Amino acid sequence: MSDGGAPTPEKGKLALYWAASCGGCEIAVLGIDDKVLKVAEAFDIVLWPCVMDGKVRDIEKMPDKSIDLCLFNGAIRTSEQEYMAQLLRRKSKVLVAFGSCAAEGCIPALANMNTREEIFQTAYHDTPSTDNPDGVRPQIETEVPEGTLHLPLFYDTVKTLGQSVEVDYYLPGCPPEPDRIWDALVAILTGQLPAPGSVIGATTTVCDTCPRTRNEKKIKEFKRTWEIIPDPDTCLLEQGVVCCGIATRAGCGALCPTVGSPCIGCYGPNEGVVDFGARMMTALASVIDSQDPDEIDRIIQEGIPDPIGSFYRFGLANSLLRRKALAHNGDGRVAEPA
């Protein structure tokens, strides 16, 4: 629906916010090119920290539900991000989890394989470039002569936006493709929306848009990308390259596999899938071409040395696993105070 359906004439209010994210989603918004002017026509932008100055207290003062649309990118790593999520939820009519971090945790949530303590130990002590003889660590409160200083609390666990507040729509992608962003904006502005809580996107997977030919699959050996120059016309997976296109929601246009690079899953799971990684693993396990348990072990161990990195790269926070078990720190109690 790329150019169809013009935004409504009446000007609404738009907020864009970023939490734990890389900034790619901000750039993706600009990727809609000159259509950004149409966005400006339709909306007054009330908050966009990446691009313009703005104050949290101005938002706090706005009446509830006075922002028509909030595009929120980034995961929830700290108490301040969670506060902003709650604030924008309260002030916005429609809250969109924009991009993979907000929708499913993405790269920031890979830190869920560690505890806060381990992260601080690495960041403030172990890295070779750290010079911290006094072992200073971030504190929530610090007393100085002038009074008490506050820092946001760094959570043990990265959450998705949806795990913090109620989300109206999800827009997947790391980052979302500009065309899909525009489609979503048009859908929102024209009110042609799916049920609240749903993902705005396709219901099939990347394979559906991939130009490579597919056959029955039997895999004897998984190959890392540097081990093979793949045949240009055949399905990468059939050639042993772990391509996540089979499980990843369509929407990108199969950009990576088209140029010979396997899909890494940035568009997240297909509609209704509860655990992307589990889907990938059962699918691949089903087509390993061996009946011998030892050989199967070898094929998996040599070909997929990092299953979390391969299959939960984008979705760990949103998966059934969510994080590495926390119960190991001594008394069995989970350390997270938040």
Partner 1 sequence: MTEKVGVYICHCGTNIAGPVDVEEVARWAKENLDGVVLARDYRFMCSSLGQELIQEDIKNEGLTRVVVAACSPHLHEKTFRTACSKIGLNPYLTQMASIREQVSWVTEDRAAATHKAKMMVAGAVRRVQLQEELQPTEVPVNPNTLVVGGGIAGIQAALELADAGHKVFMVEREPSIGGHMAQFDKTFPTLDCAACILTPKMSDVGLHENIELLSYAEVDSLSGFVGNFDVRVRKKARYIDEDACTGCGICIEKCPKKVVDEVFEAGLGYRKAVYRPFPQAIPKFPVIDRDTCIYFERGTCKACEKFCPTEAIDFEQTDTYLDLNVGNVIMATGYDLFDCGKIPQYGYGRLANVFTSLEFERLCNAAGPTEGHILLRDGVTEPQSVGIIHCVGSRDKQHHAYCSAVCCMSALKFGHLVMEKTGAEVYSFYIDMRPLHKNYEEFYDRLLQEGMHFIRGRVAEVTDAARLPGEDGKLIIQAEDTLIGKQRRIPVDMVILLGALQPRFDAKETGLKFGVSAGLDGWFTERHPKLDPVATMTDGVFIAGTCQGPKDIPDSVAQGAAAAARVQGMISKGTVLIEPIVATIEEARCSGCRICNTLCPFNAIEYLEDKAVSYINPALCKGCGTCVAACPAQAISGAHFTNDQIFAEMEGLLYDVIGSNGATVKSPQPALEPA
Which residues of the shown chain bind partner 1 in the complex (CB under 8 A)?
Answer: 56-57, 60, 79-80, 82-83, 86-87, 90, 150, 152-153, 157, 163-164, 203-208, 214-218, 235, 237, 245-247, 250, 269-274, 279-280, 282-283, 285-287, 336, 338
Residue placing its CB nearer to partner 1 in the complex, 132 or 139: 139
Nearer to partner 1 among residue 73 and residue 81 (C-beta): 81
> Nearest approach, Cβ of 272 to partner 1 (angstroms)?
6
Sole residue written with tokens 């911290």: 132
Nearest CB to partner 1, comparing residues 39 and 206: 206
Query: Helix 178-189 to helix 35-42 angle, to the nearest 10 degrees?
Result: 30
Q: DSSP 3-state assignment of 48? A: coil
Helix/strand/coil for 6? coil
Type and span of the H or E element at 77: strand 76-78
Taking a C-beta distance cutoff of 8 angstroms, is the pair 257, 263 a contact? yes
Tell me the closest approach of the beta carbon of residue 181 to partner 1, in angstroms. 23
* 129 versus 148: smaller Cβ distance to partner 1: 148
Task: Give least dist CB 35 to partner 1, A.
Answer: 29
Q: Which amino acid is at 79?
A: S
Pairing of strands 76-78, 141-144: unpaired
To the nearest whole angstrom, how small is the minimum distance from the Cβ of residue 50 to partner 1? 19
Nearer to partner 1, 127 or 282 (CB): 282
Residue written as token pair 């369509």? 250
Name all contacts of 212-215 with Cβ < 8 Å and 24+ positions apart: 212/236, 212/257, 214/238
The Cα diameter of the chain in Å comes to: 71
Least distance from partner 1 to the Cβ atom of residue 120, Å: 19
Q: Which is nearer to partner 1, 2 or 204 (CB)?
A: 204
CB of 214 to partner 1, least distance (A): 5
Nearest to 323, CA basis, from 79, 156, 74: 156
For residues 159 and 235, the answer to whether their CB atoms sit within 8 Å is no
56: Cβ contacts below 8 Å, ≥ 6 apart: 84, 87
Query: From CA 157, how far away is CA 326, in angstroms rounded?
Result: 9
Q: In angstroms, what is the minimal distance from the CB of 10 to partner 1? A: 30
HSE toward the beta carbon, residue 285, CA cutoff 13 A: 10
- DSSP for residue 306: -
Q: How far is the CB of 249 from partner 1 (least distance, A)?
A: 9
Nearer to partner 1, 64 or 297 (CB): 64
Phi, psi of 219, deg, nearest 5:
-115, 120
Nearer residue to partner 1 within complex by CB, 38 or 90: 90
